[in-house]
C-alpha cells in the first residue's frame, strides 16, 4: 500500500491537516495592516484550506492557495465554489520548494503547519523573494516552549523533525533570513486536540476497518496515536508557534 495514499485518506476529512484554529488564524491576521482588494496573499501548504477560507472571509484580498496534493485542493475548490469566492481565491498544485511566482508579487505569505516540509530556514529564505518590500509572512512552526525538557520528548521530536528549536532560536532564524519579527504566539490545546488529533482519531477504527485491519495500516494509525500521546504528556514543553514577521527592505 502506498503511504502517501494512506496519509491523504487519513487526513482529508480532518478539520485541518495540522494543529490550528480559526481564532488563531484571525489573531495572526490581526497583526497585519489592513489588506484591500488589491492585496495578494499566497497560502503555502494550504491542505483542504481551513485557513484559506478564514483569510478569504476576513479580508478582501486575492488569494492563491498552493499544495502538492490535488486531492486536498479538490476539497478547497469545493469550499471556494460554495462561497462564490472564485473571483478572488484560487488554488494551484505546486511544490513549495519550486514556486513559479514573480519576485515581489505578494503582500502576505501565509503558511500554517506546513513549512517544516521544506524546513523553517530554507522556506523563509526561499520564499522571501516573492514578498513585496515590507510584505508580511505568517507561519506556524513547531517550537520548544522551554529551554530544557525531558530527554524522552527531546529525542522523539529531534528524530521526527530535527529543526525543532526554541522560540528564541526561531526568532533569530527569522532575522537571519531577512525579516523583522513582529510578534509570535503559541497555539493552545484546542488547536491540537479538538481541531487535529480528535477528528482524525474518531475515524481511526473505521479507517482501519476500511483497509481490512492490515498490519501496515494499524501501525500507521498507532504511530499517530503515539504522537498524540506525546502531546498530552509533554505539551508544556512544545507547541506550534505562529510567527508574524515583516520583510526588511
Ligand atoms: N495548512 C493546512 C495544511 C497543513 S498540513 C492546515 O493547517 O490545515 C501540510 C500541508 O503541506 C499538506 O497539505 C501537504 O500536502 C502539504 N505539503 C507537504 N509537502 C509539500 C510540498 N513540498 N509542496 C507543497 N505542499 C506540500
Give 24's contacts (C-beta < 8 A, 6+ positions apart): 140, 185, 187, 188, 191, 242
Q: Report yes or no on 229 lying in a domain.
A: no
pLDDT tens profile 6-24: 999 999 998 899 999 999 9
Q: How many whole angstroms separate alpha carbon 132 and alpha carbon 150?
A: 42
Ligand 1, atom 12, residue with closest C-alpha:
47
pTM flag (> 0.95) = yes
Q: Report yes or no on 196 lying in a domain.
A: no
CA–CA distances in Å: residue 149 to residues 144, 146, 157, 238: 9, 7, 11, 9
Counting from 1 in the atom list of ligand 1, the atom nearest the Cα of 17 is: 8
Nearest to 189 by CA among 223, 151, 234: 234
**Which three cell numbers mark 116?**
517544516
CA–CA distances in Å: residue 62 to residues 43, 73, 109, 217: 11, 17, 12, 40
Domain count across the chain:
1
Q: Which residues line ligand 1 (CB under 6 A)?
A: 16-18, 20, 45-47, 50-51, 67-69, 72, 95-97, 112-114, 117
Domain with residue 78: its CATH number is 3.40.50.150
Q: Report yes or no on 224 lying in a domain.
A: no
Cα of 24 vs centre of ligand 1, distance in Å, is 18
pLDDT tens profile 154-202: 999 999 999 999 999 999 999 999 999 999 999 999 999 999 999 888 9
Beta bridge partners of 241: 141, 186
Query: Pocket of ligand 1, candidates 5, 45, 122: which has the most ligand atoms within 8 Å of its Cβ, to mutate?
Result: 45
Amino acid at each position: 500500500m502506498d503511504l502517501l495514499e494512506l496519509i491523504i485518506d487519513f487526513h482529508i476529512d480532518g478539520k485541518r491537516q495540522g494543529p490550528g484554529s480559526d481564532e488563531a488564524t484571525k489573531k495572526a491576521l490581526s497583526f497585519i495592516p489592513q489588506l484591500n482588494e488589491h492585496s495578494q496573499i499566497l497560502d503555502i501548504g494550504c491542505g483542504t484550506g481551513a485557513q484559506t477560507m478564514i483569510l478569504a472571509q476576513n479580508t478582501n484580498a486575492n488569494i492563491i492557495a498552493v499544495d502538492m496534493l490535488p486531492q486536498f485542493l479538490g476539497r478547497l475548490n469545493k469550499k471556494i465554489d460554495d462561497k462564490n469566492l472564485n473571483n478572488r481565491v484560487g488554488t494551484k498544485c505546486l511544490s513549495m520548494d519550486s514556486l513559479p511566482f514573480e519576485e515581489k508579487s505578494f503582500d502576505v505569505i501565509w503558511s500554517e503547519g506546513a513549512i517544516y516540509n521544506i524546513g523553517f530556514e530554507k522556506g523563509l529564505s526561499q520564499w522571501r523573494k516573492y514578498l513585496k518590500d515590507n510584505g508580511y509572512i505568517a507561519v506556524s512552526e513547531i517550537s520548544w516552549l522551554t529551554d530544557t525538557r525531558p530527554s524522552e520528548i527531546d529525542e522523539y521530536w529531534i528524530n521526527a523533525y530535527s529543526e525543532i528549536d526554541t522560540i528564541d532560536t526561531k526568532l533569530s532564524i527569522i532575522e537571519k533570513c531577512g525579516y523583522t519579527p513582529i510578534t509570535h504566539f503559541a497555539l493552545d490545546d484546542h488547536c491540537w486536540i479538538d481541531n487535529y488529533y480528535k477528528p482524525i482519531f474518531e475515524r481511526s477504527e473505521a479507517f482501519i476497518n476500511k483497509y481490512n485491519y492490515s498490519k501496515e495500516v494499524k501501525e500507521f494509525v498507532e504511530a499517530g496515536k503515539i504522537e498524540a500521546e506525546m502531546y498530552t504528556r509533554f505539551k508544556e514543553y512544545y507547541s506550534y508557534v505562529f510567527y508574524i514577521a515583516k520583510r526588511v527592505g
